[in-house]
Amino acid sequence: MQQRLNDLCGVLRGVGIVVNTSLKEQRLKAYWAWSRSDYRDILVCASKSLYSKISDQNLSQTASYVTGRLGLINQQNLIIMKLLVLPKFSESFRFLLTSDKDCCDDSRSDIKSASAASVSQSESQINTTRSNNRKPLPLESFNVPPPSTLDQKVFSKERRVPSSRIGRVAGFGNLALSLGVGAATEWAKQKVGYPVSSASSTSSALFLTDANLEKVVDTLCRMRGAALKLGQMLSIQDENFVSPQVQKIFERVRQAADFMPAKQMRKVLTSELGEKWAEYISDFEEKPFAAASIGQVHRGTLKDGRVVAIKIQYPGIADSIDADISNLMSLIIRFNIFPPGLFAEKAVEVAKRELRAECDYLREAAYGKHFTQLLKDDQVFQIPQVIDELTTSRVLTTEYMHGLVLDDCIDLPQNVRNWIGEQLLLLCLKELFVFRVMQTDPNWSNFMYNPQTGKIILLDFGASREFDKSFVDKYIRLIHASAEHDKESILQLSKDLGFLTGYETKVLQQSHVDAVSILGEAFASNHNFDFSQQSTTKRISHLIPVMLKHRLTPPPEESYSLHRKMSGCFLLCSKLKAVVNCHPLFYEIWNNYHFSE
């Protein structure tokens, strides 16, 4: 008898454990449903609207309004209760209410409409509702001006590209010689009392005169290739990181690359596509409408009527990357453009690998197709289709896309600029933390906005790369720690990622934590972040001298391209003077992120 009582007590204890566990599980499920529900937002909205409407003494409309809101709340409450009692809680929502599917769909639609209606329609208020902002934003009354060819632009010239190694070495040698002569002339002027600017008082500034900077621009535009690519990268850096003189001249470089003569261009086309390449095309514009660091782009029309963009690589560029960068670095070191402690050698090796990859147009075409697949269900972004029969490792043909480059979007209405900035920030986060593949070149010409369709066009996937899951797992934790101002986690994750060794001085550790925390400020607060008023780059620039002086190791290789894209996207939002609530952009991804560990 005693044994049976003991067994019964054991069974009851087991039942108690099961009940407690079940209650705990149901409590967690209830919290899960509540935290992801519009229930709270509607309740707050109803209370605010109730106060507003009663203040206006519109009691009949108030009663109708509250009744409607309570009806929606009741419908959603039923949905939540059904979620809690169904056994397969984690299944997709559309499978939950099989008997009331139509009613459930209507309820979801009404709830979304009510939530959307609660957002102010004032142009000054930023709409941060993901479902609304993830739609195209057209400006139908805005007409995009017809594109011009490069020969119509002030700074572009038709000049043959030096394709031999000897010719390219001679080009950089002539630049070094002429810069030296220019510096000597400036020094002589100072000695004889000729009036000079205060900026020319230092030894390094002797090389950065207006005349010398013009020579740099002229040489980079003529040589193109890796040297021009580096110049374009420097042009999109904040003035707090790069000398205003240098930035001004590289901005000229970014806007004005020279283009090949027709004879040289046709020679490349024939060598890549064969003698009969013209048979595919009914119309071909010999003057390019765009030129970049490693190629120029022509407009054409296929036999079937499709308008295409044909990117043709400059001859000899792919084979001269190492020599070009080495020659340019010798000039940069001489002029002290890069500060000590930058670990320039590591940066140079990374740049060489990235540029070699960019010269492979078949690789770029493959990444373009990959991004097309990743964004196939996205309503905002559009990617041009690759024309395979007219694509090789040195020629890339895609669908021609029409729109405004982001340089020309700075005068658009504020709400459109806010929307563009938000979409690009969200894309940047998704590329890293969701897709783990990123187009890392933030050049403003790689993004266009089409006012007619309201979509953002993504161009040029040559700088695309993938990131390991282990790196992304640690990096998203670092961003989260910066947003939460968690100093200990920032230091530990920075060591795990390779930014720190663990043997740094306290001064460097504090500067590093401060810099990372400043970068996380945009995500820290659930309020609008005004990029036009931000002081992020200025404050970080004050920390850089300390970090460069005491740093013991170069940053991880992934960070070069990653930080170039992230800082470029940040600066792009600043140029647009965008106002964006960045907090939900990051935390929506953080809350749904799956770690491999």
- Whether the per-residue pLDDT at 286 is higher than 50: the answer is yes
Question: Does a structural domain hold residue 236?
Answer: yes
Are residue 157 and residue 54 in the same domain, yes or no? Answer: no
- Whether the per-residue pLDDT at 119 is higher than 80: the answer is no
Q: How far is CA 81 from the centre of its chain?
A: 41
Q: Confidence class of residue 216 from pLDDT cuts 50, 70 and 90?
A: confident
- Whether the per-residue pLDDT at 186 is higher than 60: the answer is yes
Q: How far is CA 381 from CA 145, 247, 287, 310, 434, in A?
A: 21, 30, 29, 21, 16
Q: ∠ at Cα 360 (358, 366), nearest 5°?
A: 95
Provide the pLDDT for residue 147. 65
Are residue 418 and residue 342 in the same domain, yes or no? Answer: no
Q: How many CA atoms lie within 13 A of 362 on its CB side?
A: 4
Q: State the Cα–Cα distance between residues 571 and 248, nearest whole angstrom.
A: 16
Q: Kindly report, residue by residue over 331-377, the tens digit of the pLDDT.
A: 666 666 666 666 777 877 888 888 899 999 999 999 999 999 999 99
Are residue 156 and residue 19 in the same domain, yes or no? Answer: no
Question: Does a structural domain hold residue 375?
Answer: no
Q: What are the start-end ranges of the H helices in 256-343? A: 262-273, 321-334
Q: Confidence class of residue 248 from pLDDT cuts 50, 70 and 90?
A: low
With a pLDDT cut of 90, the percent of the chain lying above it is 38
Q: Confidence class of residue 182 from pLDDT cuts 50, 70 and 90?
A: low
Which of 10-24, 142-156, 403-417, 514-528 has the lowest average pLDDT? 10-24
What does the mean pLDDT of the chain come to? 75
Catalytic residue among 218, 258, 324, 441: 441
Question: Does a structural domain hold residue 290?
Answer: no
State which residues form the domain around 592.
126-138+410-443+463-597
Q: How far is CA 313 from the centre of its chain?
A: 25
Are residue 480 and residue 584 in the same domain, yes or no? Answer: yes
Structure tokens at 49: 């609207």
- Please report, for the chain, how many H helices and E strands are present, in that order: 21, 13
Instruction: Provide the pairing of β-strand 455-458 with 464-466.
Output: unpaired
Residue 464: which of 326, 319, 564, 567 has the closest Cα?
564
Where residue 17 falls (left for φ over 0; alpha for ψ -120 to 50; beta otherwise) is: alpha
- Whether the per-residue pLDDT at 90 is higher than 60: the answer is no
Question: Does a structural domain hold residue 283?
Answer: no
Provide the pLDDT for residue 423. 97
How many domains does the chain fold into?
3
Provide the pLDDT for residue 457. 98
Cβ atoms of 187 and 206 within 8 Å: the answer is yes
Phi/psi of residue 299, nearest 5 degrees: -95, 140
Provide the pLDDT for residue 194. 61
- More confident call, 22 vs 267: 267
Q: How far is CA 18 from CA 14, 15, 23, 25, 30, in A?
A: 6, 5, 9, 10, 18
User: pTM (2 decimals)?
Assistant: 0.70
Question: Does a structural domain hold residue 554?
Answer: yes
Which of 74-83, 114-123, 304-313 has the lowest average pLDDT? 114-123
With a pLDDT cut of 70, the percent of the chain lying above it is 59
Structure tokens at 401: 């896309």
Which of 58-67, 280-289, 419-428, 528-537 has the lowest average pLDDT? 58-67
Cβ atoms of 458 and 447 within 8 Å: the answer is yes
Q: Sign of the CA dihedral 488, 489, 493, 499?
A: negative
Question: Does a structural domain hold residue 77?
Answer: yes
The residue-averaged pLDDT of 540-550 equals: 80
Neighbours of 380 (CB within 10 A): 20
Burial label, 239 (beta-carbon count in 10 A; 0-12, 13-18, 19+): middle
Are residue 105 and residue 234 in the same domain, yes or no? Answer: no
The residue-averaged pLDDT of 73-77 equals: 45
Are residue 216 and residue 89 in the same domain, yes or no? Answer: no
Provide the pLDDT for residue 192. 66
Are residue 96 and residue 132 in the same domain, yes or no? Answer: no
- Whether the per-residue pLDDT at 66 is higher than 70: the answer is no
Cβ atoms of 312 and 265 within 8 Å: the answer is yes
Q: Confidence class of residue 329 from pLDDT cuts 50, 70 and 90?
A: confident
Are residue 339 and residue 203 in the same domain, yes or no? Answer: yes
Are residue 426 and residue 524 in the same domain, yes or no? Answer: yes
State yes or no: is 441 an active-site residue: yes
Q: Kindly report, residue by residue over 5-59, the tens digit of the pLDDT.
A: 666 666 556 556 655 655 555 555 554 454 444 444 554 454 444 444 444 444 4
Are residue 119 and residue 11 in the same domain, yes or no? Answer: yes
Question: Does a structural domain hold residue 86?
Answer: yes
Q: Confidence class of residue 106 from pLDDT cuts 50, 70 and 90?
A: very low
Are residue 220 and residue 342 in the same domain, yes or no? Answer: yes
Q: Kindly report, residue by residue over 448-485, the tens digit of the pLDDT.
A: 999 999 999 999 999 999 999 999 999 999 999 999 99
Provide the pLDDT for residue 493. 96
Question: Does a structural domain hold residue 380?
Answer: no
Are residue 101 and residue 172 in the same domain, yes or no? Answer: no
3-class DSSP assignment, residue 466: strand
- Distance between terminal CA atoms of the chain? 51
